[in-house]
Structure 1
Amino acid sequence: MNIRFAALAALALPASLWAQEPSPGTQRGMEPGTAAETVDVVLETTMGDIVIALETERAPITAGNFLRYVDEDRFDGTVFYRAMRLDWGDQPNGLVQAGTQNDPERILGPIAHEPTTQTGLTHSRGALSMAMGEPGTATGDFSIQLQDNPGMDADPASSDPVWQNGYAVFGFVTDGMDVVEAIHAAPVDPDKGIGWMKGQMLAEPVEIVEAKRLE
């Protein structure tokens, strides 16, 4: 599968998996009253700012990779280019996707996979997750969830190696979900995209003007 458009094969998931009841919080396995270490980052886009808490303690490899892209200005000038829409429930659902799109001057090497069974994180509303073709191939593309979609978490019972490992959650939007929703609602081009992703590409991608740590 073309990693440039970063697999995230959500449309192949049965609706029952997406609809399963998520945990009440965004993380699992933490003692009450405790908080894991995070680092705040802001994505300044042409549609507004998105503030993210990166899970540097729970998902150190994945969050550290994203932070390196931020610190080295590799996201500056990239775009949100995809809006995958799921027609389930009474709220807009699916994801938006952004990143380096395999630009050889921007991407770093692939990173080791951190499944949600290891990190205790889950694909809840506002979760950031790495795009990949298969576990261990993630580089510089990521998605943001519009609603709780725990079907993208690791499922050890699955016979499919992708869904057995799931996608790697590494952070959560703490401010700017209205911007994420506006990007998701933007017009798509019915002719853009490859394979089952055709019709999911934004007609006018939304630029990430700057990504930086939030002091």
Structure 2
Amino acid sequence: MINPFLVALALAVQSSAIPPQATQLPPPPPPIPAPVTPVVEIDTRPHVALVTDLGTIIVRLEDKRAPVAAANFLRYVDGKRMDGFQFYRATRNWGPANQLVQAGNRGDARKNYPPIAHEPTTKTGLTNCKGALSMARLNPGDATSDFFLLLGDIKGFDADAPGGDGAGFAVFGEVVAGADVAERIFNAPISPTAGDGVMHGQILDPMVTIKTARRVPAPADAPAGCVVKAP
């Protein structure tokens, strides 16, 4: 004989709602994002190592902003005509606000390429700040092989400097390594007699020779620099 109580219990169990958590799987974990590879910008601006008697200076050229002067400098470098050029001038007698060293061809004038067009800072957006690499010239458009390395801000060299000649000196790069070498050149012995006019008391004795000038990769720790004017 079937027990009616057991039948009722079985029917009750079959009709009871089963809790959802007993029949559903847990949701899948969120996907793990793929690692993000940082974008490393490669500095394509040319860099040149000037190996001198007193150490090595590395300069970076602003070939996009000052293409004429940068190409002129590289022409001397790539043709190895800069080998043997000399740092011959240090403006110690101009005071702390106008410190620079000057280098160029002090030997065979036939090594000089023709003069280049002047690129004023008002056109290039560059400025004569500490570390700037600028073309030396007498008049706009007569620059050849001589250049300055600035050891301080000389904003009076900019084309728009008050009281200037409206042309200034053309910046085309800056020092990114070896600033201490430039300082040693600046503080090297000066001839008591050499130099005419404003150059008197500024001629190095002995002069500091550029043994080699060659293109090099950008230094990993190269500073952002100061020659590009802020927008």
- The TM-score range, normalised by the shorter chain, is 0.7 to 0.9
SS in 1 for 2:156: helix
Return the TM-score normalized by structure 2: 0.72
In structure 2, the partner of 1:207 is: 209
In structure 1, the partner of 2:75 is: 68
8 A contact 2:132–2:174 mirrored in 1: yes
Cα distance in structure 2, aligned partners of 1:203 and 1:99: 15
Q: What's the % identity of the aligned pairs?
A: 49
Which protein, 1 or 2, shows the higher relative CO under an 8 Å CA cutoff with sep ≥ 6? 1
In structure 2, the partner of 1:56 is: 63
Cα drift, residue 43 of structure 1: 0.2
Runs of 4+ in 1 over 3 A off after TM superposition: 34-37
8 A contact 1:79–1:98 mirrored in 2: yes
Cα drift, residue 102 of structure 1: 7.2
**How many residues of Structure 1 are paired with residues of Structure 2 in the alignment?**
176
In structure 2, the partner of 1:42 is: 49
8 A contact 2:87–2:103 mirrored in 1: yes
SS in 2 for 1:70: helix
Structure with greater strand share of residues:
1
SS in 2 for 1:118: helix
2:90 aligned with 1:88: no
Return the TM-score normalized by structure 1: 0.77
Cα drift, residue 195 of structure 1: 1.1
8 A contact 1:187–1:203 mirrored in 2: yes
- Give the aligned residue type for 1:81: Y
Say what the alpha-carbon RMSD is for the aligned residues.
1.9
- Give the aligned residue type for 2:169: Y
In structure 2, the partner of 1:155 is: 160
In structure 1, the partner of 2:189 is: 187
Cα distance in structure 2, aligned partners of 1:77 and 1:101: 9
Max radius of gyration: which structure? 2
Post-superposition Cα deviations, 1:127-159, rounded to whole Å, max 9, x if no partner, equal 01111110000000001000111110002765x
Cα distance in structure 1, aligned partners of 2:159 and 2:42: 23
8 A contact 1:36–1:55 mirrored in 2: no
Runs (5+) with no aligned partner, structure 1? 1-33
Runs (5+) with no aligned partner, structure 2? 1-40, 218-231
Cα distance in structure 2, aligned partners of 1:200 and 1:185: 11
SS in 2 for 1:165: coil
8 A contact 1:37–1:57 mirrored in 2: no
Cα distance in structure 2, aligned partners of 1:101 and 1:168: 21
